[in-house]
């Protein structure tokens, strides 16, 4: 449960001006990053959260735990932020809630951001991090990969690359409103969190001089056969809702076991506010339970 349960209209009213300021395409991305880190102070982690600053795949990362953890399973978390902003700090609270629900350490990767490091830098970092987890002793099918928004798209792209290059299939994918095709232009100006000018600026920054139809950049365009069980969540009022429904339909057509939760009255990646609102905490718990079920065989072996 959240540490403080505020009414959804109150949380929405507080978030609206914050996101309008923070995710403004007229601001340099460096300023947006600083504002995002500052704003994350309000997203409190559960009591007992332990943060360990580590290196993973040559990049900074946070290993987030809450209580006893399995030594045979883990979650690799790829944060959102349009590939241009966001950090382990902005997603620390969300990672802590998932650590508590899964009983596993959640490894939040500080992958390189655009425009300084355009595609495929983030995907390369995610791949290297996953391979290092394998080299450290985790079986590939005992590593769940999760992410939100751009991090959700990156999670899908990582699963496709692991399948094609290494023959690895993670335990599961947990995708919160994943941005799986940055080529798609939103049909509305904004939702509570995301606005069209900002998302287009992020897409251009991430693409750089690349090919927008490369499946690593737009993983929705790839073949989805052979992917692990996948959880997708999106709110019906957010800009990415239609894209998420397309993803779910394509996953199901490819024979991938898929769970799709459509909420009403929340907002894009409301899981970040799990400490403030009960419905956001509930939807975070649902993702955690899905990941825990996928990782349960490993946890059972580690206990026995």
pLDDT of the chain, 304 residues: tens digit per residue = 566 789 999 999 999 999 999 999 999 999 999 999 999 988 999 999 999 999 999 999 999 999 999 889 999 999 999 999 999 999 999 999 999 999 999 999 999 999 999 999 999 999 999 999 999 999 999 999 999 999 999 999 999 999 999 999 999 999 999 999 999 999 999 999 999 999 999 999 999 999 999 999 999 999 999 999 999 999 999 999 999 999 999 999 999 999 999 999 999 999 999 999 999 999 999 999 999 999 986 444 433 3
Residues paired with 54 in a beta bridge = 61
Q: Which of 149, 155, 199, 275 is an active site residue?
A: 149
- If DSSP codes are grouped into helix, strand and coil, which group holds residue 13? helix
Catalytic residue, from 70, 238, 270, 275: name it: 238
| 238 a catalytic residue | yes
DSSP calls for 166-231: I----S-EEEES----TTPPPSSSB-SS-BHHHHHHHHHHHHTTS-TT-TTTSGGGS--TTPPPEE
The helix (run of H) or strand (run of E) holding residue 99 is helix 92-102
262 catalytic residue (yes or no): no
Q: Which residues contact 13 (CB under 8 A, 6 or more apart)?
A: none
Q: Is 155 marked active-site?
A: no
Beta strand 173-176 with 49-56: parallel, antiparallel or unpaired? unpaired
Q: Out of 268, 270, 275, 286, which one is annotated catalytic?
A: 268
Q: How big, in percent rounded to 5, are the helix, strand and coil portions of the chain?
A: 45, 15, 40
| Token output for 76 | 């690799």
Whole-prediction pTM value?
0.96
Closest C-alpha to 230, from 172, 161, 170: 172
**Minimal CA–CA distance to 145: which of 186, 112, 173?**
173
| Number of alpha carbons in the 13 Å side-chain half-sphere of residue 175 | 36
Compute the CA torsion angle 139, 291, 106, 45 (nearest 10 deg).
-170
């Amino acid at each position: 449960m959240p540490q403080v349960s505020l009414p959804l209209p109150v949380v929405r009213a507080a978030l609206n001006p914050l996101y309008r300021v923070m995710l403004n395409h007229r601001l340099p991305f460096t300023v947006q990053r600083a504002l995002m880190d500052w704003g994350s102070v309000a997203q409190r982690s559960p009591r007992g959260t332990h943060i360990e600053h580590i290196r993973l795949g040559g990049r900074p990362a946070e290993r987030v735990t809450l209580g006893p953890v399995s030594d045979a399973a883990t979650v690799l978390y790829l944060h959102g932020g349009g590939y241009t902003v966001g950090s382990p700090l902005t997603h620390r609270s969300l990672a802590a809630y998932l650590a508590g629900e899964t009983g596993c350490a959640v490894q939040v990767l500080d992958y390189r951001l655009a425009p300084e490091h355009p595609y495929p830098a983030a995907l390369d970092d995610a791949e290297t991090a996953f391979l290092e987890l394998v080299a450290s002793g985790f079986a590939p099918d005992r590593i769940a990969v999760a992410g939100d928004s751009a991090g959700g798209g990156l999670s899908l792209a990582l699963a496709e690359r692991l399948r094609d290059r290494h023959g690895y299939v993670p335990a599961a994918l947990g995708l919160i409103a994943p941005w799986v095709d940055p080529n798609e232009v939103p049909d509305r100006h904004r939702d509570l969190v995301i606005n069209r000018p900002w998302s287009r600026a992020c897409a251009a920054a991430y693409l750089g001089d690349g090919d927008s139809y490369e499946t690593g950049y737009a993983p929705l365009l790839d073949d989805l056969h052979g992917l692990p069980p996948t959880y997708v969540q999106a709110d019906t009022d957010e800009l990415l809702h239609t894209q998420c429904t397309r993803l779910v339909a394509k996953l199901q057509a490819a024979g991938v076991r898929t769970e799709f939760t459509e909420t009403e009255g929340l907002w894009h990646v409301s899981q970040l506010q799990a400490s403030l609102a009960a419905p956001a905490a509930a939807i975070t718990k649902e993702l955690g339970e899905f990941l825990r079920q996928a990782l349960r065989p490993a946890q059972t072996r580690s206990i026995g």
